[in-house]
Amino acid sequence: MTRLPLVQADPRSACPKDMMFGPCGGVGADGACEVSPVRCTFVDDPVALWPGDVPVAAGGVLHAPSPAAVELAELVRARPVVISGLPARALDADSIRQCAEILHGTVDAVLAGDSGRARVQLPPAYRAHVIQEAGLRAWMGLSCRDRNRVALEGEVAALADVGVAGVHCVTGDHTLTGTRPDARPVFDMESTELVALARRWGLATSVAESPAAPPVDLRPARLAQKVAAGGELCFLQYCGDVDDVRRFIDRSREAGVTIGFVPGVPVVIDRAGAELLESFAAAVLPPGYVEGILAAPDAYQAGVAAAIDLSEQLLAIDGVVGVLPAGGPEPGTEVAFAHALASIGRALGAGEPLAPRTR
C-alpha cells in the first residue's frame, strides 16, 4: 500500500522520519532536527492538512469499544482522571506485574509506552495483557519507529482484541536518540496516520503535542489535524508552568480543537530521575520545580507533594480532563516510584468509583 498523497514530497524528503505531517515533537529550540544539525524541514512550512482515512487490510472493521474504554470515558465525563506512567523495568513482566499491583486502585489507568531508559520493550499487546491481569486499565503507547504499517496494523488489531482502554499514537523518537542506535528506523507511518488506523479498529485514542517545540505558533493547528484524523485526547509534553498550559489550550480552542487535554506532570524523587526528565526533547519544566525538590531534606516526599500541587493547579484549567504523572525512575527504584505515583493518584481522588465533577 502506498502512503496517501497530500503535499509535495520535495521539501520534506530530508526528514529522517519520512514524515508528511510534521514536525515531530523533537525539534530543538533553535529549529534543529532531532538527529541532525540541519533545520527541521517542517518548521517554516504551513501545517499539512489531513486528507482522509488510511487503507487497512480486509477484515479491519470497527470493533465495539472495550469495557475499559467505556469505563474511562464515563470517568472523564464525571470527574478529572489520573492516567499515570508505569515505571516497570523493560523486558521484565514480573516488574510490570509488581508495579501494576501497587498502582491498582490508586489511578484510573496507566500509560505504558517506551521506557525512558530503554528502547526495546515487550510488545504492547502483551504488556497490556499483563497490566490488565493486575486489574488496571491499560492505555498503551504505540510507536511508528520500530514497525512498518503491516506490523502496526497487527499490533492495533491485537490491542483491540485484548480490550485496552486506549492507545497513545506517536511517531516516536528516532533510533539514533536511544539505547539502540544500531537499529534501523522504520517510520512507515506516523502518528497522524496511526491514530486514524486505531480509530478504524474501534480503539479510544490519544495524541501527543509538544507546545514548547518549534514552530510554537503552528502547534495548535497541527494538533487540530491529529484530531481530524481521530485523536480523542491530547497528552501534553511538559511546556512550562500552569499559565503556559492554559495559553496553549486557549490557542488550540481558537484553532478548532475540541477534545480534552491531559497535561504531563513531572514526578521527581531523586537527582537521576530529574536529569532524565530534563533530557527529554522539547520538555520545559516549571521554573524552579526540580531545584525545589532536590533542595528539600526528603526529595521523595517533596517530589510527591510538588506533583500533587501542580496536578491540582492544572486540573483547575478549563479543558483539562485529567493529568499524567510520570517520570524516569533510577534503575532499581521502580517499586519506590510506583508507590510515589500511587500516593499522587490517591491524593487526587483517582481509582475510586464515579463521582460528580467539582469544577
pLDDT in tens, the chain (359 residues): 344 333 333 445 679 999 999 999 989 888 999 888 889 989 999 999 999 877 666 555 567 889 999 999 999 999 999 999 999 999 999 999 999 999 999 999 999 997 656 888 999 999 999 999 999 999 999 999 999 999 999 999 999 999 999 999 999 999 888 888 899 999 999 999 999 999 999 999 999 999 999 999 999 999 999 999 999 999 999 999 999 999 999 999 999 999 999 999 999 999 999 988 888 878 999 999 999 999 999 999 999 999 999 999 999 999 999 999 999 888 899 999 999 999 999 999 999 765 444 44
| CA quadruple 196, 198, 200, 206: dihedral sign | negative
pLDDT score of 177: 86
Q: Is 242 left (phi over 0), alpha (psi -120 to 50) or beta?
A: alpha
pLDDT score of 267: 97
pLDDT score of 337: 97
pLDDT score of 352: 72
pLDDT score of 52: 81
pLDDT score of 10: 41
Whether the pTM exceeds 0.85: the reply is: yes
What CATH number matches the domain at 10-44+65-347, 3.10.580.10, 3.20.20.220, 3.40.50.720, 3.60.10.10?
A: 3.20.20.220
Residue 341 burial (CB count, 10 A) = 29
Exposure letters 94-117 (e unless 16+ CB within 10 A, then b): ebbebbbebbeebbbbbbbbbbbe
- Helix, strand or coil for residue 83? strand
Distance of alpha carbon 353 from alpha carbon 359, whole angstroms: 17
Hey, what's the cell of 220?
495548535
Distance of alpha carbon 165 from alpha carbon 133, whole angstroms: 13
pLDDT score of 53: 73
- Helix, strand or coil for residue 190? coil
Q: Which of 173, 44, 38 is nearest to 117 (CA)?
A: 173
Hey, what's the cell of 150?
503491516
pLDDT score of 9: 37
Where in the chain are the domains? Answer: 10-44+65-347
Residues facing 104 on adjacent strands: none
Hey, what's the cell of 313?
493547579
- Helix, strand or coil for residue 255? coil
Q: Which of 178, 171, 224 is nearest to 193 (CA)?
A: 171
